[in-house]
Amino acid sequence: MPLCERKTADCPSAVTVTRKYIVRGATRVMADESLFEFLHMEMVAYVYKHQSGDNNDQERGSALSTLEGLGFRVGQGLIERFTKDTPSFKDDLDAVKFLCKDLWINLFRKQIDNLRTNHQGTYVLQDNKFSLLSQFSNSKQYIEEAPKYLVYTCGMVRGALSNLGIDSVVTAEVSVMPACKFQVVIQRS
């Protein structure tokens, strides 16, 4: 929903201007987002510093899996609180759509921009302006760093689905920031 349509109960009517900062400052909801963003940055930095002595692939891999694991547990917790009162989903597609809409709005203040599926268990969720990348760059600069900042969210998605009874593997791919794609592959047992 465009910023200018935000309810006037939340921001003074004089503030329905296009300057993002002002609207952001007027609503507490936005503030939490930045707090989470800063915490997320520190968390990634910590895990990398703690888990990788040198720059070898194995240690980098373990840092990524630590972050993914953290995200997984948080995703489980979030979806549980969030779907307490909602009826269960009729199928996987329904659950993924819920993630794309309700969960994404809750976490990142916007929906997933594009969802594609092959109707055989693979879903691609595209976010054109992923909030955790938008401070980075508008292009390919720093792209090697991007995966570190996506893996926690991949974990959250996997954790959320897991608590809805869906096992999956979630990966992310970036070609031009701040857009990115999350790929969810449902695992059939």
Partner 1 sequence: MSRQGNRGTEGKKMNSELFTLTYGALVTQLCKDYENDEEVNKQLDKMGYNMGVRLIEDFLARSSVGRCHDFRETADVIAKVAFKMYLGITPSVTNWSPAGDEFSLILESNPLVDFVELPDNHNGLIYSNLLCGVLRGALEMVQMAVDVKFAQDTLRGDNVTEIRMKFIKRIEENIPVGDE
- Per CB under 8 A, does 21 bind partner 1? yes
Distance from C-alpha of 69 to C-alpha of 63, rounded to nearest angstrom: 10
Question: Per rule CB under 8 A, is residue 50 in the interface with partner 1?
Answer: yes
Of positions 33, 59, 113, 145, contacts partner 1 by CB under 8 A:
33
- Hey, which residues between 132 and 161 contact partner 1 (CB under 8 A)? 152
The only residue of 47, 100, 157, 160 in contact with partner 1, by rule CB under 8 A: 47
Q: What is the DSSP string of 130-175?
A: -TTTTTT-SSSTTGGGGGGGTHHHHHHHHHHHHHTT--EEEEEE-S
Q: Give 68 or 92: the residue with its C-beta nearer to partner 1.
A: 68
Site string for partner 1, 64-93 (x = CB under 8 A): --x---xx-xx--xx--xx-----------
How many residues lie near partner 1 (CB under 8 A)?
Answer: 41
Cβ(127)–Cβ(112) under 8 Å? yes
Q: Does 34 bind partner 1 (CB under 8 A)?
A: yes
Reported as half-sphere exposure (CB side, CA atoms, 13 A), residue 74 has a value of 17
Alpha-carbon distance 83 to 164, whole Å? 9
Integer Cα distance of 74 and 60 in angstroms: 22
Q: Are 101 and 111 contacting, i.e. CB atoms less than 8 angstroms apart?
A: yes
> Residue 96 CB, nearest distance to partner 1 (Å)?
19
Enumerate binding residues for partner 1 (CB under 8 A): 9-12, 15, 21-22, 24-29, 31-36, 38-43, 45-47, 50, 66, 70-71, 73-74, 77-78, 81-82, 106-107, 152
